[in-house]
Amino acid sequence: MDNAPEPAPLHQTIAAGLSELGMPDLPCRSTTFLIRGGYCIGQRFLFDGVQAIWLIAENVVQFYDENGRMLTSVEVGAARRQEAA
């Protein structure tokens, strides 16, 4: 299984999602790999006031507020495709 995007599109998607939420240029406080049943299923990026969860199988980044409420979901690379159009 090789759904992993290159780091640049993933980080561009996270930056675009944060900007869309009105939180551009937030420094990432921590990064955690999400493991289930011994397999990496995603990655969590923690920022002040929001967290971004990259789900490998779906290839999306979901953004959550401090209370765990999902704010938005963005397909990895979607921002890049919109720029090219």
Domain, as residue range, for 14: 7-84
Residue 8, both tokens? 């640049």
Domain assignment of residue 2, yes or no? no
How many alpha carbons lie under 13 Å from residue 64 in its C-beta half-sphere? 12
Q: Kindly report the pTM of this predicted structure.
A: 0.81
Residue 19, both tokens? 């900007």
Domain assignment of residue 38, yes or no? yes
Domain assignment of residue 12, yes or no? yes
pLDDT 10s digits, 32-63: 999 999 999 999 999 999 999 999 999 999 99
The per-residue pLDDT of the chain, averaged, comes to 88
**How many domains does the chain fold into?**
1
Q: How many residues does the chain have?
A: 85
Is the Cβ–Cβ distance between 50 and 62 less than 8 Å?
no
Query: Could you tell me the strand order of the sheet in which 70-75 lies?
Result: 30-36, 39-47, 50-55, 60-65, 70-75
